[in-house]
Amino acid sequence: MECLDVAATKWWGRHCTCVLNERYDMDDQHHILRLQDTFIYRRHLCLVFGLLSVNLYELIKQNQFRGLSVSLVRIFSAQLLDAICVLNEARIIHCDLKTENALLKNLETPTIKVIDIGSACHEQQTVYTYIQSRFYRSPEVLVGLPYSSSIDIWSVGCIAAELFLGLPLFPGSSKYNQLSCHHHTCFKFEIEKTSHEFFEVSHSFGSSAPKKLRLKSMETYSKEHGVIEQPSKRHYQETTLPDIVNSYAFSKKGMSQKEIEKETANGRSFINFLQGLLILNPIEGWSPHQAKLHPFINGEPFTGNFVPPMIPKKPTTAENSARLEPTLPGRTSKSRSSSLTSSISVPRIS
């Protein structure tokens, strides 16, 4: 149960959850938190949800921050993408996807629920700039550019990497520090007023050459803003995404040549999957429907760089139906158990 100040929330979280439950996930098949009941207690709005288990961060912690098996990373990533597909249909951006906001239904099966819908916004009402938890915050939000539902895809990429690695991929301590974690390649952003807080125009030969942005040095940024920035915290010696993933090699002991080849292919597929989610230019990014077609998710053989097909947006039944005030579904609950943790650690991929 969650208690929120009525005046502060304006019932937004309740409204979003009810809309998702009643119009887009009526059969409870898409890993969206179910709202069971609401009531007012001492001028606070109390939201009642079904009983869930630990979140994905706690699951990683139980595994001593060594990361989860490839099979679990695949299962959880697919479920997160499935939830975002539903949010996209409802034109809702979650705005705070992270390992703490994905909870297991129980410890017997690897089924999750995405929670904290109260932080969400409508696609046409992206007025807030301080959104997303820092480790999972997209580049466009960090620099203050307009954002869209693509920020949720970036967060899923960060979550998938953390599930595999056991530690955050981008552990920044400030906005500048977070950008420096991202900035191993040049950002493909257009030059905007807000971008100049962190970026400067790199020198190019010829006036006709396109302007490019580069991240200001730590010394320049600290001097301009009167702060003392510290070097980026690094969990990994490697600097590129493929090298970071490949450094977590699987144990080949007792494996046949065929099994080794399969795990190696899984590694290449996972790297390509992450690269598709963590695209710096949001215009070039994948939709959740496209990401679900990646071989890492659907289990098809990985044959090379994945190019997602164009998927036109189709009107949903909910979009064509009358806009009725949602009602509350029936009350259910689940109890905790403790068997999933026995299978969270298996051989790594390379």
The CA-atom distances, in angstroms, between 197 and each of 159, 169, 222 are 27, 24, 11
The Cα 182–Cα 176 span in angstroms is 10
Catalytic residue (one of 25, 82, 96, 152) = 96
Q: Tell me if residue 196 falls in helix, strand or coil.
A: helix
Q: Is 39 exposed, middle or buried (0-12, 13-18, 19+ CB in 10 A)?
A: exposed
Q: Among residues 271, 275, 294, 285, which one has the least CA distance to residue 88?
A: 285
Q: Tell me if residue 78 falls in helix, strand or coil.
A: helix
Instruction: Give the distance from CA 181 to its chain's centroid.
Output: 17
For residue 279, what are its two tokens?
């695209």
Question: Is the Cα dihedral 10, 135, 77, 306 positive or negative?
Answer: positive
116 is catalytic: no
Answer for the pair 250, 348: CB distance below 8 angstroms, yes or no: yes
Going by their DSSP bridges, the two strands 92-93 and 102-104 should be labelled as unpaired
Active site residue ranges:
96
